[in-house]
Amino acid sequence: MRVTEQIDALEAMGLNSIGYLIIPRVLAGVLMFPVLYIAAVLVGVGGGIAVAHLGGWVPAGEFVSGAREFFNPFDPVFGIIKSLVFGFVITSISCYKGYYTSGGAEGVGRSTTEAAVTSCVYILLADLVLAMTLL
């Protein structure tokens, strides 16, 4: 939107482009990443049970009782906290890179790569900080 002057068009109309474009995206990321996390956990555990049971390695009942034995109630809470933080990190970095991109189509490609790489680095950093403070 930046390189095709769509952001300038929003501003020229008298609209706050940051409020219109960035805040909803960051909010969506923060709200939906935990949902994605829960879905991923359900699919992961469900898939594990199905493969173990159908493959004839571990019966479903035994799998569930084993999982319960090692279950720590803080783990899913910690997972949701991490997904909230990662959602914020990924969307805010990506929006920042996109909002201030320049240099035409090539610039958009460069900003996309920068957004992905920077997000990965900050996710690792955030993971470290969260693990050190909450675990």
Partner 1 sequence: MIEAKNLFKSFNDRPVLEDVNMQIEEGETFAIIGRSGSGKSVLMKHLIGLLKPDSGEILIDGVDINKLDYRALRTVRRQFGVLFQGGALFDSMTSFENVAFPLATFTDKKPAEIARVVHECLEMVELEDVGNKMPSELSGGMKKRVALARAIALRPKYIFYDEPNTGLDPETSNTIDALISGLSDRLNVTSIVVTHDMHSVLSIADRAAFIHQGTIRWIGTVEELHASTDDVLLDFVKAHEYQIGGPRTSVATNPPSY
Query: Binding string, 12-41, against partner 1, x = CB under 8 A?
Result: xxxxx-------------------------
Q: Examine residue 9 and tell whether it contacts partner 1 (CB under 8 A).
A: yes
Q: Examine residue 8 and tell whether it contacts partner 1 (CB under 8 A).
A: yes
For every residue of 26-91, DSSP letters joined together read HHHHHHHHHHHHHHHHHHHHHHHHHHHHHTTSS-HHHHHHHHHHT--THHHHHHHHHHHHHHHHHH
Q: Which of 5, 23, 46, 109 binds partner 1 (CB under 8 A)?
A: 5
Q: Examine residue 6 and tell whether it contacts partner 1 (CB under 8 A).
A: yes
Q: Is 126 exposed, middle or buried (0-12, 13-18, 19+ CB in 10 A)?
A: middle
Q: Examine residue 102 and tell whether it contacts partner 1 (CB under 8 A).
A: no
122 membership: H or E segment, kind and range: helix 104-134
Q: Which stretch binds partner 1 (CB under 8 A): 5-13, 48-56, 91-99, 104-112?
A: 5-13
Cα separation, 129 vs 135, in Å, equals 10
Q: Which stretch binds partner 1 (CB under 8 A): 10-18, 49-57, 63-71, 91-99?
A: 10-18
Question: Residue 91, Cβ neighbours under 10 Å: how many?
Answer: 22
Taking the complex as a whole, the smallest distance from the CB of residue 5 to partner 1 amounts, in Å, to: 4
**Contact 119/57 with Cβ under 8 angstroms?**
no
Taking the complex as a whole, the smallest distance from the CB of residue 25 to partner 1 amounts, in Å, to: 13
Contacts with partner 1 by CB under 8 A lie at 1, 4-6, 8-9, 11-16
